[in-house]
Amino acid sequence: QEEGRVYNFAAGPACLPYNVLKEAQADLINWKGTGASVLEMSHRSKQFLSIIQKAEADLRELLAIPDNYKVLFLQGGATSQFSAIPLNLAGPEDAVDYVVTGSWGSKAVQEAGKYAKANLAATGKPGKFTDIPPQSEWKLTQGAKYLHICANETIQGVEFKEYPEVEGETVLVADMSSNFCSKPVDVSKFGLIYAGAQKNVGPSGVTIVIVREDLLGKAQPSTPVMLDYKIHSNNESLYNTPPCFSIYMTGLVFADLLKQGGLAAVAKKNEEKAQLLYDAIEGSDGFFKCPVAKPVRSLMNVPFTMRDPELEAEFLKEATAQGLIQLKGHRSVGGVRASIYNALPLAGIQKLVHLMKDFQAKHS
Ligand code: PLP
């Protein structure tokens, strides 16, 4: 571990690769001899254009994004997309389907109801969001404009391992905020993918939208200009002042992921990391317990509880003392949650597993 640094298990904003932080630090005062930092650069300058264009090109390479998809760098967080998606892809009287597998999907469907006929096609709520309802039970609407899923529910730790097929004109829409660029994805299966950067690919402030071109230009007339994908697409994400520094940092992360060998290599590391932690939980004889059904356990967010909940506070205190920070579960579900995004190194998980074993031995 680098001098003075901790292992940061935060759900987001999350840890960033050390080498990326160092690069940004070096650029901060004087970007490539320009005498100014990216923080101070006009978004219309040729320097910034080179930054945003490289970020897009690298992301296209990472995800093998087909040419008929636009990449947008937007503001307002993934939360703004909860409104932008129905506004852009549906009319007020159109049906849109939502399969809800956790807290973020719940928020998305609630927002969509303001702008379209949002149908809750399935929800994991009765089972406390510990599993994905079987597809045979989904009540999909024929002719729905889209089917929305949350690819990885950050709070509950439930992740789609395979994506559902859609029929007819319906397109698949996915919130990939918390597993974006953690593994390869077949973009052509989706009408739209969106993700806030602040978990796997950068700081907060920029949200990435990947959208099939033919879906653009049909926004509801009342759509605010800042939520209209066509406007941003026509202006190459420079309709207004974009989150320049967040885009720059995200670009550094994309380049770093390519350097690591691309998303197949990254996925392999993520699988190994998650396996180590889930094995430790499973091997604890119920001292630690993960409530999520095994086939849908997230490789990014690992929630777990302790047999004796009274010990949780002590466990978290001990973890913090050892430089393993932000392990407290989300306030809505409690327990412990280890967010182990791309930038969290294997050594951090090894240290956490070591602590878990020690702690159990001390308290058994
Ligand atoms: N969707 C998912 C899956 C998330 O994890 C989050 C934030 O944690 C959001 C949406 C909301 O993102 P933002 O805070 O960027 O609006």
Q: Name the residue of 83, 103, 177, 333 whose CB sits within 8 Å of the most ligand 1 atoms, as the mutation to test its pocket.
A: 177
Active-site residue, from 70, 104, 145, 183 = 104
Tell me if 150 CB under 6 Å of ligand 1: yes
Active-site residue, from 70, 183, 199, 273 = 199
Tell me if 102 CB under 6 Å of ligand 1: no
| pLDDT at position 333 | 87
Architecture of the domain spanning 262-363: Alpha-Beta Complex (3.90)
Q: Is the pLDDT of residue 2 over 90?
A: no
- The structural domains of the chain, with segments of one domain joined by +, span 30-259, 262-363
Of the CATH numbers 3.30.830.10, 3.40.640.10, 3.40.50.150, 1.10.630.10, which one belongs to the domain with range 30-259? 3.40.640.10
Angle of CA points 190, 176, 306, to nearest 5°: 140
- Ligand 1 atom at shortest distance from the alpha carbon of 176: 3
ipTM of the complex: 0.99
Q: Is position 104 annotated as part of the catalytic site?
A: yes
pLDDT, tens digit, 9 for 90 and up, residues 305-341: 999 999 999 999 999 999 999 999 998 888 999 999 9
Ligand 1, atom 12, lies closest to the CA of 78
Q: Is position 199 annotated as part of the catalytic site?
A: yes
Average pLDDT over residues 49-72: 98
Q: Is position 175 annotated as part of the catalytic site?
A: yes
Q: 12: CA distance to ligand 1 center in Å?
A: 8
pLDDT, tens digit, 9 for 90 and up, residues 132-185: 999 999 999 999 999 999 999 999 999 999 999 999 999 999 999 999 999 999
Mean pLDDT score of the chain? 97
Q: Is the pLDDT of residue 1 over 90?
A: no
Q: Answer yes or no: same fold for 30-259 and 262-363.
A: no
